[in-house]
């Protein structure tokens, strides 16, 4: 796939910041339906945590009948679930918003996919039992620090409503792509919440606490909230499900092409349901045609690859767009839902090319 004579010529992550580390997947170069560790985007709020041996114990406490401490040995003995899951940062494509918004200026590479294996959180909560007034489940990571815009020092922690926590596909994972989870992606235990934006998938799980109230941690009451207005917090609501979306991987934006036949390629994904169709326009959205969706190994939480054969004879500039629709009849809009912190961008993907 890469240049044989120069094996060091290969894609790398696109760097936004190193402390904490934030780097994008070079999505145009991802040809497979799984992303291997070296090209898996990295999104961190804090410096990487220091892990001690006590890390191998997972406590579950709070509004449970019997608090428990699970060892790794115990966890891997539960019936395991392996799921192919898209993880997409809620800030993916933030840089495409107009007007621009503050925050990490992610392009289209805040997304990766692979196999996560672990034990359903439900199975663990069945062991501890839940008190009648249990409402939410907080999952806390080992990393902590200060973040601009948020007072004080916090650990990265988020809660799930009971319904999502007990969903059979919400897992405490210990493997990624059939290996122990790479350290930067949450070793040894990571919560995986398929279908939700990836802020929900807490890395380096330190403890799990069931509560009888609503958790107000800053990563769900300040950040990861949609604020539709520039100057006030009215009408805000939390970021949860991944929006239906697609990305054109080939050709590149602003590429120069020869007249003739070209394959337009990309991926499409959604948080709820499955991708039903992908439409392509090569005339700036005036007319649309169906792309062919590659249909092998499709499971609910993975992206689909699609392609479209484009025959172009006339020289000129072209605006190419892709627009996906899912089984809940959600279609990518032509313009994004603008929000002050720049989450959930999912307007039809758009590139320009010149045919010479
Ligand atoms: N403990 C912890 N978990 C975390 C985060 C974090 O900073 N700390 N970032 C979240 C966000 S916003 C995203 S997009 C994903 C990124 O996962 P990755 O670095 O494995 O790609 O992890 C989520 N889980
Ligand atoms: Mo994120």
What is the CATH number for 28? 3.90.420.10
Q: What pLDDT, on the 0 to 100 scale, is given for residue 52?
A: 75
Give the other-Cβ count within 10 Å of 321's Cβ: 21
- List all residues 6 or more positions away from 205 whose beta carbon is below 8 Å from its beta carbon: 58, 139, 140, 141, 142, 172, 186, 189, 190, 191
Closest atom of ligand 1 to 155 CA is 1
pLDDT digits (tens, 9 = 90+) for 21-66: 999 999 999 998 999 999 999 999 999 999 876 558 999 999 999 9
- 340 and 218, same domain (yes or no): no
- 231 and 314, same domain (yes or no): no
Backbone φ and ψ of 39, nearest 5° = -110, 10
Residue 295 has pLDDT above 90, yes or no: no
* Residue with CA nearest ligand 1 atom 24: 202
- 219 and 178, same domain (yes or no): yes
If one counts the domains in the chain, the total is: 2
Share of the chain above pLDDT 90, in %: 92
Tell me 3's DSSP state. Answer: -
pLDDT digits (tens, 9 = 90+) for 179-225: 999 999 999 999 999 999 999 999 999 999 999 999 999 999 999 99
Cβ of 45 closer than 6 Å to ligand 1, yes or no, is yes
Cβ of 143 closer than 6 Å to ligand 1, yes or no, is yes
Which tokens belong to 265? Answer: 């390629």
Residue 1 has pLDDT above 90, yes or no: no
Within the chain, how many helices (H) and strands (E) appear?
4, 24
Q: What pLDDT, on the 0 to 100 scale, is given for residue 33?
A: 92
Mean pLDDT taken over the chain:
96
Range of the domain at 196: 14-238
Cβ of 201 closer than 6 Å to ligand 1, yes or no, is yes
Is residue 7 one of the residues assigned to a domain? no
Cβ of 43 closer than 6 Å to ligand 1, yes or no, is yes
Closest atom of ligand 1 to 219 CA is 12
Give the other-Cβ count within 10 Å of 259's Cβ: 13
Spatial separation of the C-alpha atoms in residues 166 and 3, rounded to whole Å: 47
Last residue of a domain, one of 174, 205, 238: 238
Give the other-Cβ count within 10 Å of 78's Cβ: 16
Cβ of 204 closer than 6 Å to ligand 1, yes or no, is yes
Which pLDDT band holds residue 149 (cuts at 50, 70, 90)?
Answer: confident
Spatial separation of the C-alpha atoms in residues 182 and 185, rounded to whole Å: 5
pTM: predicted TM-score of the whole model, two decimal places: 0.97
- Give the angle 41-47-52 at the CA atoms, nearest 5°: 105
Q: What pLDDT, on the 0 to 100 scale, is given for residue 9?
A: 85
Give the other-Cβ count within 10 Å of 332's Cβ: 23
- 233 and 307, same domain (yes or no): no
Last residue of a domain, one of 238, 271, 287: 238
Q: Are 268 and 308 in contact (CB under 8 A)?
A: no
- 234 and 306, same domain (yes or no): no
- 257 and 336, same domain (yes or no): yes
Closest atom of ligand 1 to 142 CA is 1
pLDDT digits (tens, 9 = 90+) for 308-335: 999 999 999 999 999 999 999 999 999 9
* Residue with CA nearest ligand 1 atom 19: 42
- 193 and 265, same domain (yes or no): no
| First-to-last C-alpha distance (Å) of the chain | 27
Q: What pLDDT, on the 0 to 100 scale, is given for residue 118?
A: 98
Share of the chain above pLDDT 70, in %: 98
Is residue 1 one of the residues assigned to a domain? no
Closest atom of ligand 1 to 112 CA is 21
- Average pLDDT estimate for 149-176: 96
- 75 and 121, same domain (yes or no): yes
How many angstroms is it from 283 CA to the middle of ligand 1? 38
pLDDT digits (tens, 9 = 90+) for 109-125: 999 999 999 999 999 99
Ligand 1 pocket test, pick from 23, 203, 224, 239 with the greatest ligand atom count within 8 Å of Cβ, gives 203
* Residue with CA nearest ligand 1 atom 23: 199
Q: Are 270 and 240 in contact (CB under 8 A)?
A: no
Q: What pLDDT, on the 0 to 100 scale, is given for residue 53?
A: 66
Closest atom of ligand 1 to 205 CA is 1
Which tokens belong to 223? Answer: 């950040």
Residue with tokens 């990766």, as numbered in its chain: 112
Which residue in 189, 180, 172, 201 sits closest to 79, CA to CA? 172
């Amino acid at each position: 796939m890469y240049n044989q004579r120069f094996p060091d010529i290969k894609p790398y992550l696109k760097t936004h910041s190193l402390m904490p580390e934030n780097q994008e997947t070079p999505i145009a170069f991802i040809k497979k339906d799984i992303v291997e560790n070296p090209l898996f985007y990295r999104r961190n709020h804090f410096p990487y945590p220091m892990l001690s041996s006590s890390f191998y114990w997972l406590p579950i406490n709070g509004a449970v009948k019997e608090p428990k401490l699970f060892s790794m040995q115990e966890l891997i003995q539960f019936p395991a679930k392996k799921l192919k899951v898209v993880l997409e940062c809620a800030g993916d494509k933030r840089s495409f918003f107009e007007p621009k918004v503050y925050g990490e200026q992610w392009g289209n590479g805040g997304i990766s996919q692979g196999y996560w294996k672990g034990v359903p959180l439900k199975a663990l909560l069945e062991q501890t039992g839940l008190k009648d007034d249990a409402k939410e489940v907080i999952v806390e990571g080992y990393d902590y620090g200060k973040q601009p815009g948020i007072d004080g020092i916090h650990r990265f922690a988020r809660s799930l409503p009971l319904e999502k926590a007990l969903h059979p596909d919400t897992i405490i994972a210990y493997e990624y792509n059939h290996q122990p989870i790479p350290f930067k992606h949450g070793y040894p235990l990571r919560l995986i919440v398929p279908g939700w934006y990836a802020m929900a998938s807490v890395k380096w799980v330190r403890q799990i606490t069931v509560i009888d109230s609503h958790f107000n941690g800053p990563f769900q009451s300040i950040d990861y909230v949609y604020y539709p207005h520039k100057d006030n917090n009215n009408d805000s609501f939390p970021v949860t499900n991944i929006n239906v979306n697609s990305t054109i991987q080939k050709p590149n934006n602003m590429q120069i092409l020869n007249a003739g036949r070209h394959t337009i390629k990309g991926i499409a994904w959604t948080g709820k349901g499955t991708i039903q169709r992908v439409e392509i326009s090569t005339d700036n959205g005036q007319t649309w045609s169906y792309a062919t969706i590659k249909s092998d190994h499709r499971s609910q939480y993975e992206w689909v690859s699609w392609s479209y054969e484009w025959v172009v004879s006339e020289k000129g500039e072209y605006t190419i767009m892709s627009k996906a629709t899912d089984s809940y009849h959600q279609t990518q809009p032509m313009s994004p839902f603008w929000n002050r912190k720049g989450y959930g961008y999912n307007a039809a993907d758009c590139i320009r090319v010149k045919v010479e």
